[in-house]
Structure 1
């Protein structure tokens, strides 16, 4: 009985943590005014006939606050990497040097910043929904245990309260992550 209840609580917490990690991962892809290597992590490059993440065919480094430096492991990959960055949805125009690419990040307009804040809020709401779905699944599992007389109604209510406390904690964490990203975006 206790193992079942603890397993449900552990599973709920693990899934809520994954929701937070997924949110953070999504938000790193949104461009702020500063250069960050994570900006290019999701870009795929054609490498010997198969799409490969850019970070596996080149070294990506921050050159200064507004410039990324991309140095391919193989020189012949320079044009393919250039093309992949240009065709991405980031609106970046790399500048080719003899053996690397400089990727200057243009400053964000006020309108673009507001659009990105809306995207951040949407991602945050998606994470909140995911956390609430985890809570619902855990509560359904508890109801099933109670229905099968594995736990008492009082025990079910107590564990549901624990799961609600967990849910509130992770939703507060989502709010903090979203707020931090919003302030980062609105910083000029």
Structure 2
């Protein structure tokens, strides 16, 4: 007999990945506070290859408006500075020869709205992934009926997938609401 738990578990795993991906994407959206994750995409040339900034320097946030980058090797300071300038971070680094400071400018109202819209887009993408996982599970359950799965068992499994779906959609809404509040708070 077909085990419905495997379909439910597969759907839940896909939904979990969607939440993790959303969390990661929202962390990269700058909300007016210093967050080292905005530098995750910055790659620095190091001995002939491009490596993540965190592989060649420590990144700290001493206060809510400043990110401090301390290179592990002094000669890298110019390379790090150039990599930040060429990235999509949009903040001009200040270099004092020892460390690099990034002053996080306050967001304008228009920029806040843009970032909130971008966050909403990411949340919608995650919701689509969750819905697709639910659809895939339900399709697999319907196919299992043809292989001898009793209809009442299929309906129970379908209801369970729907409950899990609803729970994950609520998580997405909560993540988005928290990010929107963070962005819109001056």
- The answer to whether the superposition gives a TM-score over 0.5 is yes
| Gapped regions of structure 1 (runs ≥ 5) | none
Q: 1:42 Cα shift?
A: 2.0
1:16 equivalent to 2:15? Answer yes
Local SS of the residue matching 1:42:
coil
Q: 1:98 Cα shift?
A: 1.9
Q: 1:73 Cα shift?
A: 1.1
CA distance in 2 between counterparts of 1:108 and 1:87 reads: 21
Corresponding position of 2:133: 134
* Corresponding residue pairs, total: 186
Q: Which has the higher contact order (CA 8 A, sep 6+)?
A: 2
What TM-score does the superposition give when structure 2 sets the normalisation length? 0.97
1:145-183 per-residue CA deviation (whole Å, 9 max, x = no partner) reads: 11111x111111111011001000000000000010000
What TM-score does the superposition give when structure 1 sets the normalisation length? 0.96
Q: Do the aligned partners of 2:7 and 2:137 also contact (CA within 8 Å) in 1?
A: yes
Alpha-carbon RMSD:
1.0
Where in structure 1 do 4 or more consecutive aligned residues deviate above 6 Å? Answer: none
Corresponding position of 1:114: 113
1:116-150 per-residue CA deviation (whole Å, 9 max, x = no partner) reads: 1100000000000000000011111111111111x
**Which of 149, 163, 166 pairs up with 1:165?**
163
- 1:37-186 mapped onto 2 (5 Å cutoff): 37-149=36-148, 151-186=149-184
